[in-house]
Copies of this chain bind each other. A is one copy, B any other.
Amino acid sequence: MPKETFNNLSKDKKQKIFIAAVQEFSTRRFSEVSINQIVKTAGIPRGSFYQYFNDKEDIFLYVFTEILKEKQEILHSTEDVNPDADVFEVLMQTIRASYQWSRAKPEYSQISLLMEIDNSEFIIRLRTASANELRKMVERDKQRGLIKPEIDPDLVVEMIYSFIIKEYFWIGLGEDMFLKRINDIIKIIKEGIACV
């Protein structure tokens, strides 16, 4: 995380650096990001950067946690979820909120997206199991008798997770199309595609 010197900076300067970093991390994958580029767009001398951060990982960690903080604020503010809702309903609601966020801060969501398809040592270590909450929901619904007993919750979570992530690449489609696609996917996972 940033050195003390960074925290002592003016809000303006901090913001300038943050924005430059976001721009870089949202267009290049981690291994391709150049600190040179960041300092150039931030308009600070190269030496200063190393006064503020140790290295690329350091600034990424900063940007990442900053974004996560913001996202969680937004997601939790919309938390008027019906406690009896099943996993499918909750999922749909979360994605809807998450979509709004992506629309409001496209660069931020682009960073998350790039992270998903990155397999640098460092990024892999970072990728948290945000899937955990989802798994718990699946397990709960299984006990409520809403989901077939032979289903492996981990597998379901993985499927949902991997597909929804991929779906975000389609975000350009526009809200209606995007949400319809997600809806269709969830329906397939719920009911299958074969005729009964």
Contact = CB atoms under 8 A, between A and B. Distances in A.
A55 interface: no
A152 B184 contact: yes
Contact of A162 (B119, B166, B181): B166
A191 B158 CA distance: 17
A194 B146 contact: yes
A1 B164 CA distance: 37
Copies of this chain in the oligomer: 2
Interface string A54-70: 00000000000000000
Q: Interface size class for chain A?
A: 20 to 34
Nearest to A114: B119
A126 interface: no
A147 B117 contact: no
A196 B29 CA distance: 44
A5 B66 CA distance: 54
The 5 closest A-B pairs by CB, nearest first: A192-B192, A191-B192, A190-B194, A162-B166, A117-B117
